[in-house]
Structures are given as C-alpha cells and as structure tokens.
Homo-oligomer: A and B are copies of this chain.
C-alpha cells in the first residue's frame, strides 16, 4: 500500500468539546501513516479508496482485556468475581504454560480481534513469559497496536499460577527485553491485582516501570468482595488505590486501572489530574454482579476514562457495543444510585472510546492533522430503515452502534496500514 492515499466517504470524529464532527461525502487524506487533512475536494494524483455511503470513523480503543480468557468469553456467567476466577478463569489461564495450547488459542483471539472494531488495546496475558511473548508476536504481526503485559502473581493464587517472587521479577525483565525490537506492540507492567502480589513484587515492578518508562495496568475497586479482601490483606493502606501508590505503582508512568466501580472519596482525589486512565467495563461489571462505575462523576471530576471489554468478564470483543452499554448502565446508575448524575450521551461515549482513550497512546484517537491514521470503515448496508436518508451522520452512527455493533467491518487501518 502506498504511503499517500485518500479515503472517500462520510467522515465522523470527536472534537475536544466531546461533540461529534461530521464531514459528509469528504476525503480523508493519509500520508506516511498519519492523518493529513479532511477535504471536500478530491486531492490530485493519488489513490482513492472509495467507501461511498460508508461511515469513516477513528479506530476504537479497548483499554483492558484478558487475551487468554477469550476462549470462554460468554460462558460461566452465573458467578461473581472471586468464585468465577477460581472455578474457571485461573484453570484456563494455567493452560498457557503449554506453548502449543497458547498458539492455538491466541491464534483464535488475534484473528477475532483483527475482525473487531478495536485498533488499539491494552491486554493482560498470563504469568507465562513464553506464551506472553508469543501473543505479543502474533499481535505485532497482525498490524494491531497496543500493550501486552506478562502478568505477575506470587501470592494468594492457585499453585499452578503462583510464581516465585524473584522469578516473577526476572521473567518480567526478560519479557520486556525480548520485545525491544517490536514496533506495534509494547510491554506494560501488569501486577494482576493487589491480592496476587507480594509487597516486594509490587515494589520491584514499580521500579521497573520507573526506570524503563513503561506504563502500568492493574485492577481497582471492581467488586465488593474483592475490595473487602484487599482491606484485610493490606490493613495499613488507606484504601485500595493507596496500596498501589505505597509501592510506586500509581501514575508515575501512564497507568490503567480497570473498573473503579466503587471508588471512595479519597480515591477520587487520587484519580483526579493524575496519569491514571480508568478502564470502564460496563458489560463485565454487570456480568460479574460488580455494579456500575460512576463514570459521569469521574468525568466531571476530570478523571480520564476509556472503555474496555474486559474479556472474559465481558463476553464480546466489540467496543462499539461497550459504547451503547456504557450509556445504558449510566441510565440505571442515574435511576438507582444518584439522580444528580445525568446519563452519558452517545457523543460522550464516542469521545471516550476514541479521542480520550487514544491519548493513552500518544497522538491517537481522532482525525486531527498529524494523528496516527487509525481508521474504521463501517458498512451501513445492513441497517434497514425507511428514514435513513433523513438522518444526520451522527444519527447514522448511533443507529449503527445500537443495531450493528460487532458486525463485520468494511475496512480497518492502524497507523495507516490496512489490516482488514
């Protein structure tokens, strides 16, 4: 594919004011993997990819998912978090000690992720260095871009998923170094959650993150029983967030905290104006009876939010579905928890899933000049309605999201490379 080309179609993107901007029947100019401009006149002397009638939007971002759990996404949904971890999740993750199983399962995962609306991701692998590197290689080759974490667990876990502390540290360093030539996929420091890591392990992981300038991902305040467990395990910490902070794992580098369903007032303060991105996982939080994250309140507090499938707490790889699901559960939060917190709007979740989450990766998430050319082309032919012609582009996108999320895409580009 050439380094300079143009996509033609109906173009939408989120601006900084969280509005959806619409450019009907326009041309998106891509040069050297970056967005150059959007124009209504066809640029001279270049290749045009004509997606007439299709919607062209920025790639969507999944800031928290567990790659090894994809094989049972959509199963065992009659359980809560801790029971679900022990009965199904940990045994499945244990299988990734076997590299041939990992190859088979990760092939399925990567193939389906390529088909999905996700262009950028941050994924948990397992504790196994080789299998985690294999996953990274497969993702690197796929053309998708994002982070993969070799998971760290040396405490309170089943024997077959418990690492020796020193091995966990050295294996993490080895994993990072073996990825030094990767271009699309980078390592991320990944203590599973507070219960699964000793103090020494947390401290060493914090040092690795700081010395190598690597981002961090973990879990925070997902489920009531989990929070109680953390309180018992680290009684000296003021709260769950403080347990990360005390060990150097709180936003020194860019950090993802998944869920944050039950933040305390003190935790709000720690999240504000920080380097932390909250990965909001509405489907997972419903599936595991965790609750509804207070996204409106966090947004209004200046906390950065991204959307996440949290496969396999979530059963779908579709971030488009998470957009509408985030709107839905925000309405139930408004109804049952706090009627001063108005529901999220469609334009807000579009903004969150693209521009806001994109900033985690640099100049990513919209179509400003110079941003990475991460692009989805949506096939609208499967939408059947008599009023289609009357609709604005934003309305068409909303219609697509509610009716067609997860459907096959027309095309997908990451950093200007067409991968689908």
Contact = CB atoms under 8 A, between A and B. Distances in A.
A117 to B, nearest CB: 15
A332 B108 CA distance: 31
A315 B386 contact: no
A256 to B, nearest CB: 24
B328 A283 contact: yes
A342 to B, nearest CB: 10
Interface in A289-346: 289-292, 315-316, 324, 327-329, 331-332, 334-337, 343, 345-346
A324 B77 CA distance: 9
B329 A75 contact: no
Contacts of A78: 327, 343, 345-346
Interface stretch (A236-244, A369-377, A395-403): A395-403
A339 to B, nearest CB: 10
A74 interface: yes
Contacts of A155: none
A315 B385 contact: no
Contacts of A71: 385-387
Interface in A96-142: 101, 104-105, 108, 111-112
A336 B71 CA distance: 30
A41 interface: no
Contacts of A328: 283, 286-287
Contacts of A74: 398-403
Contacts of A316: 402-403
28 contacts: A71-B386, A71-B387, A73-B403, A75-B395, A75-B399, A75-B402, A77-B327, A77-B346, A77-B398, A77-B402, A78-B327, A92-B387, A101-B386, A105-B386, A108-B385, A108-B386, A283-B328, A286-B331, A286-B332, A289-B334, A290-B335, A291-B335, A292-B332, A315-B324, A315-B402, A315-B403, A316-B403, A336-B337
Interface of A: 70-75, 77-78, 92, 101, 104-105, 108, 111-112, 283, 286-292, 315-316, 324, 327-329, 331-332, 334-337, 343, 345-346, 384-387, 391, 395, 398-403
